[in-house]
Amino acid sequence: MHLSIDEATQLAVRVLVRHGFTAAHARIVADHLVEAALCGHEFSSLPRLLAIVNELRAKSVPAPIRITREDGCFAHVDGGDHVAYVVSLVAVDKAIEICARTGIAVVTANNTWFSGRCAYYVERAARRGYVAMHTTNTTARVAPYGGTEGLMGTNPFAIAFPSLDDPLVIDIGTSAITWGDVVLMQAKGEPLPEGVAVDKHGSLTRDPAAALEGAFLPWGGQRGSALSIAVQLLGVLAGSAPVIDQTGNFGLFFVLIDPERVAPGGGFKTEVSAMREAIRANRPLANVGQVRVPGDGSQQRRERARAADAIPLDDKIYARILELAG
């Protein structure tokens, strides 16, 4: 089935307000989920409401979000145990504010959970003209390379570069599959792809329930595992524990740079656009239509979905969301 953008947004707001969010915070999360849907990322769109509400039921009333430290180009945000969809927006907007003054910003946040698509935040900063990098560690569900027990989070890494048109956005997970995808496949009754998870006994599994009891495998073998460890430790730098054994106290890490103050001779946006065109013009492999730039697929899907005013949603998931909306 399909919903219009307004219908999807209002449905998400209704669910979140019913389960304790303020109207303002509910709208922030709803806009993020709808944006994910427009970009074609099903697991991080409206189905995420099911997991958010499930976590809310186990949590007490959050404390206020606070900027607890601001010193030159540095700042820290205490999320007050609010969902990181909201805390991340506070953090990246503080980074934008600082970077406008100093040319560089390092902003961290902790005491928060579930941050959504990292691309959402770095693109926001890149549209203001800044190079932006963002990482977050998450609940321990991913085994290190060669291991079978969850130690790191799914630990995404994102970086965005401003250009003359849309920012060039790179957003990758460091696990072979995301937690959101596993939960979504479980809800839809679908098996996992081969080779992405093990059960609690350390055997490969395609059963989402068994994977949730066991561990996910790292993306990219040793390289992905190493990058995941780096993201995990940047989260520790932000104030999380080394291993996060429950859904809470993720460590968010943001770095913003003003390229106009750094790039020799200026013109950085022009160079990014030239790089994008050079990638697209590269001679493709025999079975590839055109070499694609990271982030292009999401941006193109977003444009088409906005023009069609249509948000796709699985019928089973829609029925469950309606129950949550009352």
Q: Which residue has the higher pLDDT, 247 or 145?
A: 145
Pair 140, 111 in one domain: yes
pLDDT band at 114 (very low <50, low <70, confident <90, very high): very high
Helix (H, G, I), strand (E, B) or coil at 166: coil
- Domain at 111, CATH number: 3.30.1370.60
**Structure confidence by residue, pLDDT tens digits, 50-80:** 999 999 999 999 999 999 999 999 999 999 9
pLDDT at 263: 86
For residue 160, what pLDDT is reported? 98
Let me know whether 20 and 132 are in one domain.
Answer: no
Higher-pLDDT residue of 246 and 285 is 285
Final residue in a domain of this structure, among 262, 287, 316: 262
Contact 179, 154 (CB under 8 A): yes
Same domain, 147 and 92: yes
| pLDDT band for position 266 (cuts 50, 70, 90) | confident
**Is 85 found in the same domain as 109?**
yes
Segment 127-137 mean pLDDT: 98
Residue 162 neighbours by CB under 8 Å, 6+ apart: 126, 127, 128, 129, 130, 131, 259, 268, 269, 272
The Cα 178–Cα 243 span in angstroms is: 17
Do 79 and 170 lie in one domain? The reply is yes
Rounded distance, CA 95 to CA 101, Å? Answer: 10
Say whether both 54 and 71 belong to one domain.
no
Cα–Cα distance measured from residue 121 to residue 116, given in angstroms and rounded to the nearest whole number:
9
Residue 46's closest CA among 65, 58, 32?
A: 32
165 and 28 share a domain? no
| Domain count within the chain | 2
For residue 276, is it within any domain?
no
Q: Pairing mode, if any, of strands 131-136 and 252-257?
A: antiparallel
Inform me whether the pLDDT recorded for 187 exceeds 90.
no
Whether residue 37 sits in one domain with residue 10: yes
Q: How far apart are CA 133 and CA 208, in angstroms?
A: 31
User: Both 84 and 226 in a single domain?
Assistant: yes
Q: How far apart are CA 6 and CA 316, in angstroms?
A: 20
Q: What is the CA radius of gyration of the chain?
A: 20
At 7 the three-state DSSP class reads helix
Residue-range definition of the domain harbouring residue 310 = 2-58+300-325
Average pLDDT (213-241) is: 97
8 Å CB contact between 2 and 20: no
CATH of the domain at 11: 1.10.1530.10
Q: Which residues of 61-99 are buried (b: 16+ CB within 10 A; e: fewer)?
A: ebeebeeeeeeebebbbbbebbbbbbbbbbbbebbbebb
Contact 160, 122 (CB under 8 A): yes
> For residue 250, is it within any domain?
yes
Q: What are phi and psi of 174, to 5 degrees?
A: -105, 10
Mean pLDDT (the chain) is 96
- Higher pLDDT: 263 or 214? It is 214
| Alpha-carbon gap, residue 256 to 104, rounded angstroms | 6
